[in-house]
């Protein structure tokens, strides 16, 4: 398991509740890609959440490649990312 993902979730109080799930999942996917993690790595880290809510897996399946294609990981090297998030 990647402790940085779990720490990021906790430090930033990310929720996987309906209404915030999409934004938080896209944020988490970009951050995971910045860390060099694979989709499977993130799935393993979120296995408990996925077991409790299958929509999380749907979010991963539908948006992982989109985030990768659009270079969402680059945001995490910016000053803005450091101002907006704890990581």
Dump pLDDT digits (tens) for 58-71.
Answer: 999 999 999 999 99
List of residues 6+ apart from 43 with CB closer than 8 A: 50, 57, 60
Q: Look at residue 33 and tell me whether its pLDDT is greater than 90.
A: yes
| C-alpha to C-alpha distance for 45 and 7, rounded to whole angstroms | 11
pTM above threshold 0.85: yes
- Arithmetic mean of pLDDT over the chain: 94
| C-alpha to C-alpha distance for 67 and 14, rounded to whole angstroms | 18
Dump pLDDT digits (tens) for 73-84.
Answer: 999 999 999 999
């Amino acid at each position: 398991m990647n402790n940085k993902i779990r720490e990021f979730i906790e430090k930033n109080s990310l929720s996987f509740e309906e209404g915030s799930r999409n934004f938080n999942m896209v944020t988490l996917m970009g951050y995971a890609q910045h860390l060099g993690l694979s989709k499977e790595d993130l799935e393993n880290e979120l296995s408990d959440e996925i077991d409790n809510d299958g929509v999380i897996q749907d979010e991963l399946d539908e948006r992982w490649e989109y985030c990768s294609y659009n270079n969402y990981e680059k945001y995490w090297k910016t000053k803005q990312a450091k101002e907006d998030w704890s990581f």
